[in-house]
């Protein structure tokens, strides 16, 4: 069995104490005030990173300590109805018989959270690997338009969506999340988007579920259907209208017999609660992840309170997705976990962060950075960053570990490889990847063969190759949220006059 990132002598070791620091810079290096060529993009002074995000730790900060209360985190995830899962994949006893525990005993050990259902099979210590960022991956491949970010590719180019699902499955993903991001009818028609003229939301959602089920049946995976925030909420149309939008999608998920539901990418906990309420009526397990950082949602609700409200609304799995890098996401989840403990609540913990470093992001995360969305490549995390994220997430008690925008299959494979021991199995894609660069022993050049060792890759600080670029950027920080006039949505395309007004507003 392959050895994960955690090991003796490494700055990323898994046997860490609460006072250990992961990947710490040398003592003489003050990472909080890095001089750059021109300082922060557009400036000339050294910049305190805390000016942008007082909670940020990023890739140079302290480690996330081990969870002292794994019982709180309900280690073994319960995600699908057994009938649905067995029907699609064929039944195989999914728990370790050596433990002597029955399904009933295992469910009792996590608090009898019926009707959550059965445990994900073949995860002896309860680790579920999520997939990656379909929207960004398919935009790069030419199948999604940046701006509206809608998933009509499920109808226009289903083979592209199928292939990406297969790549994540091969990389070790346990869940095929149907490509239903922003697939509500009002988003398909928003600001001149013509997707709604070609396809209904129902057609896109059904195609996405069919594709996800097809690929899941090729391996050992569950299927999830997802809801996201709506233009309707931003335009303050009210709870009834917003929930009608959600119900249209949820009805398709129920008809398609997907395993569980994910409410993801919500900036306002109020809208998240409305989505959870709709999903709970299906009787299916509900996961809920907000795209917020340590400063909380855009209406000023703290991250901890957001976690509490998601659980009280009925979500069995809660956490954070998108907008921030893996380590800021874990900071946010830690705040949620602490709030749950204080409130006496239990839930599974879930993380699906960006694959971009965002130490300089403001409250709204990477969408405020000037590089969003077309110049983010210099910020991409390495596969070693992904491994470290997986280990820190596991130590925090997170048991659903995946990725969002920027996460490619090789990042997912890195997560799977880091947690091979905990999962009790290897990803199929590991056949073509030797951990710590072992395959480089076959390279023709001796200096490349010399890199076939853990010590080299574990301690490498990758250069950007961009000597004239700043290390950090100045986020936009417009401070607008639901209720602001400039956030109200419309069917008509944005005009040049409206763009001029936005420049003036800025």
CATH of the domain at 97: 3.20.20.330
Percentage, residues of the chain above pLDDT 90: 61
Residue 159 has pLDDT above 50, yes or no: yes
The pLDDT tens digits of the residues spanning 304-313 come to 999 999 999 9
Contact 388, 5 (CB under 8 A): yes
Answer with the residue of higher pLDDT: 159 or 76.
159
Give mean pLDDT, residues 38-62. Answer: 39
Q: How far apart are CA 116 and CA 452, in angstroms?
A: 45
In this prediction, residue 172 carries a pLDDT of 97
The pLDDT tens digits of the residues spanning 130-153 come to 999 999 999 999 999 998 889 899
Contact 191, 490 (CB under 8 A): yes
Give the count of domains, the chain: 1
Any domain includes 64: no
In this prediction, residue 210 carries a pLDDT of 97
Contact 12, 459 (CB under 8 A): no
Residue 112 has pLDDT above 50, yes or no: no
Task: Using DSSP, state whether 444 is helix, strand or coil.
Answer: coil
Residue 63 has pLDDT above 80, yes or no: no
Q: How far apart are CA 411 and CA 423, in angstroms?
A: 17
Q: Name the binding residues.
A: 322, 404-405
Give mean pLDDT, residues 388-398. Answer: 97
Q: How far apart are CA 259 and CA 261, in angstroms?
A: 7
The pLDDT tens digits of the residues spanning 458-493 come to 999 999 999 999 999 998 877 767 666 666 666 677
Q: Name the binding residues for Zn(2+).
A: 322, 404-405
In this prediction, residue 54 carries a pLDDT of 43
Any domain includes 63: no
What confidence category does residue 499 fall into, taking pLDDT thresholds of 50, 70 and 90?
A: low
Partner residues linked to 263 by β-bridges: 227, 288
Residue 22 has pLDDT above 50, yes or no: no
The pLDDT tens digits of the residues spanning 358-383 come to 999 999 999 999 999 999 999 999 99
Any domain includes 65: no
Q: Where are the alpha helices (DSSP H) in 292-426?
A: 303-313, 326-343, 383-396, 409-418, 420-423
What confidence category does residue 406 fall into, taking pLDDT thresholds of 50, 70 and 90?
A: very high
Any domain includes 358: yes
Any domain includes 12: no
pTM above 0.95, yes or no: no
Q: How far is CA 393 from the centre of its chain?
A: 12
Any domain includes 49: no
Please report where in the chains the tokens 């922003």 appear, as a residue. 182
Any domain includes 68: no
Give residue 194's domain range.
78-430
Distances (CA, A) of 493 to 76, 147, 194, 237, 381: 47, 12, 10, 20, 35
The backbone torsions φ and ψ at residue 53, rounded to the nearest 5 degrees and listed phi first, read -150, 105
Give mean pLDDT, residues 10-39. Answer: 30
What confidence category does residue 280 fall into, taking pLDDT thresholds of 50, 70 and 90?
A: very high
Any domain includes 382: yes
Residue 78 has pLDDT above 60, yes or no: no
Answer whether the bond into residue 373 is a cis peptide, omega within 30°: yes
Residue 27 has pLDDT above 70, yes or no: no
Task: Using DSSP, state whether 411 is helix, strand or coil.
Answer: helix
Answer with the residue of higher pLDDT: 457 or 125.
457
């Amino acid at each position: 069995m392959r050895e994960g990132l955690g090991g003796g002598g490494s700055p990323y070791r898994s046997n860490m104490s609460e006072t250990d620091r992961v990947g710490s810079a040398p003592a003489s290096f003050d990472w909080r005030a890095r001089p750059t060529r021109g300082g922060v993009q557009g400036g000339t002074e050294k910049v305190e990173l805390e000016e942008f995000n007082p909670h940020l730790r990023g890739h140079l900060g302290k480690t996330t300590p081990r969870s002292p209360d794994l019982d709180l985190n309900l280690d073994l995830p319960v995600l699908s109805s057994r009938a649905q899962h067995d029907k699609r994949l064929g039944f195989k006893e999914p728990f370790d018989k050596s433990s002597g525990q029955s399904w009933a005993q295992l469910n009792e050990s996590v608090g009898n959270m019926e009707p959550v259902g059965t445990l994900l099979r073949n995860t002896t210590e309860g680790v579920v690997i999520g997939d990656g960022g379909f929207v960004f991956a398919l935009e790069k491949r030419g199948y999604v338009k940046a701006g509206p970010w809608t998933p009509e590719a499920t109808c226009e180019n289903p083979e592209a969506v199928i292939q990406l699902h297969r790549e994540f499955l091969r990389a070790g993903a346990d869940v095929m999340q149907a490509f239903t991001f922003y697939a509500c009818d009002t988003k398909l028609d928003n600001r001149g988007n013509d997707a709604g003229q070609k396809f209904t939301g129902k057609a896109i959602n059904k195609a996405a579920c069919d594709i996800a089920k097809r690929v899941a049946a090729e391996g050992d995976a569950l299927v999830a259907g997802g809801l996201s925030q709506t233009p309707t909420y931003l335009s303050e149309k009210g709870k009834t209208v917003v929930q009608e939008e959600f119900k249209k999608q949820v009805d398709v998920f129920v008809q398609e017999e997907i395993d569980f539901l994910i409410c993801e990418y919500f900036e306002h906990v109020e809208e998240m609660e409305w989505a959870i309420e709709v999903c709970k009526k299906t009787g299916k397990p509900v996961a809920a992840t907000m795209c917020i950082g340590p400063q909380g949602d855009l209406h000023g609700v703290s991250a901890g309170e957001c976690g509490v409200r998601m659980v009280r609304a009925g979500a069995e799995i809660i956490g954070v997705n998108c907008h921030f890098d893996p380590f800021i996401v874990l900071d946010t989840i830690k705040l949620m976990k602490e709030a749950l403990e204080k409130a006496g609540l239990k839930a599974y913990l879930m993380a699906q962060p960006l694959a971009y470093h965002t130490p300089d992001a403001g409250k709204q995360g990477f969408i405020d950075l000037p590089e969003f969305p077309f110049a983010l490549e210099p910020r991409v995390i390495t596969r070693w960053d992904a491994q470290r994220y997986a280990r820190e997430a596991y130590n925090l008690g997170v048991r659903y570990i995946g990725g969002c925008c920027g996460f490619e299959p090789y990042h997912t494979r890195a997560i799977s490889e880091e947690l091979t021991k905990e999962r009790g199995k290897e990803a199929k894609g590991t056949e073509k990847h030797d951990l710590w660069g072992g395959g480089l022993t076959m390279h023709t050049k001796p200096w490349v063969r010399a890199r076939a060792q853990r010590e080299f890759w574990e301690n490498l600080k990758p250069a950007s190759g961009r000597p004239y670029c700043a290390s950090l950027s100045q986020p936009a920080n417009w401070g607008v949220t639901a209720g602001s006039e400039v956030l109200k949505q419309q069917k008509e395309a944005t005009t040049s006059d409206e763009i001029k007004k936005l420049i003036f507003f800025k």
